[in-house]
Amino acid sequence: MNLTLKVWRQPNPKVQGRIVEYPARNIPEEASFLEMLDIVNEELIGKGDEPIHFDHDCREGICGTCSLTINGIPHGKDRGVTTCQLHMRKFKDGDTIWIEPFRANPFPVIRDLMVDRTAFDRIVAAGGYIDVRTGSAVDANSIPIAKVDADNAFDAAACIGCGACVAACKNASAMLFVSAKVSHLGHLPQGQPERNKRVLAMVRQMDAEGFGNCTNQYECEAACPKEISVEHIARMNRDYMKALALEQFVG
């Protein structure tokens, strides 16, 4: 199949970017979106041109690195897939595809389609650690956990931190990401000692990074490749209000 690509090119954060058109010729329908970009880059390199810069790592939908906005939608129009899991058979021969980086002030462009998402790392770091015994592995049944709590914790832990929720939100809110990280440990007994401290620290770090507020329009859930539920946001808000009230009472 033959396609026309409209790609965002930006040499560095200090230079104004622009859309550049490229032909994508003889693309196999079974190729992934990233493999299609590889083919285009091989042609560019062969001509002595600068290849299109984009992030990738596992190419298995696990790492969240391959974050691209495709035709205005983070990761493309398919639900529950990352960019590397999107295949060219979802497009038609002759299509024009617009490819841009994730757009959010806390995600500054590094180069072309690559953005700096270390703000997420700082939010996770703000959450700190849990107080558990280290050393030899404990018995699997030493801490009973209700199945519903284990399932909810696993659902939240599925978040890969790609940032699609931020890119999809008109406010660039990171509430879905942060709530998933808060809920992951909040559902487990191991996460209870630091539960209040964790939610306060992570929400405050999120605000300090410049992410916007949630206005409950659920673009985040729709764009999330792991289909994280917005119910985690409601849970985090309740935890935050309780922790804030307790902090003010104790303080």
- The predicted-structure confidence for 13-31, as pLDDT tens digits, reads as follows 999 999 999 999 999 999 9
Whether the full predicted model's pTM is greater than 0.85, yes or no, is yes
8 in the same domain as 92? yes
Residue with token string 């700190």: 128
Boundary of a domain, candidates 79, 110, 141: 110
96 in the same domain as 24? yes
94 in the same domain as 189? no
Q: What is the CATH number of the domain that holds 161?
A: 1.10.1060.10
87 in the same domain as 162? no
Residue numbers of the domain that contains 27 = 3-110
Residues 6+ apart with CB under 8 A from 102: 67, 68, 69, 74, 115, 117, 163, 164, 166, 167
User: What is d(CA 184, CA 191) in angstroms, rounded to the nearest whole number?
Assistant: 8
97 in the same domain as 73? yes
Total domain count, the chain: 2
- With CA atoms as reference, report the closest residue to 155 among 221, 241, 68: 221
239 in the same domain as 127? yes
Q: What local confidence, expressed as pLDDT, does residue 130 receive?
A: 82
Kind of pairing between the strands at 109-111 and 18-24 = unpaired
Alpha helix positions (H), the chain: 33-46, 118-126, 147-157, 164-168, 175-186, 195-208, 219-223, 231-250
180 in the same domain as 94? no
Boundary of a domain, candidates 94, 110, 126: 110
241 in the same domain as 151? yes
And the tokens for 158? 């599925």
And the tokens for 240? 């935050």
246 in the same domain as 137? yes
Enumerate residue ranges in the chain where pLDDT < 70: 138, 140, 251
- With CA atoms as reference, report the closest residue to 37 among 48, 47, 27, 29: 27
User: What is d(CA 106, CA 103) in angstroms, rounded to the nearest whole number?
Assistant: 9
Query: Cα dist. 66→53, 59, 88, 151, 238 in Å?
Result: 11, 8, 15, 27, 33
93 in the same domain as 28? yes
127 in the same domain as 82? no
140 in the same domain as 88? no
Q: What is the CATH number of the domain that holds 32?
A: 3.10.20.30
Boundary of a domain, candidates 89, 110, 131: 110
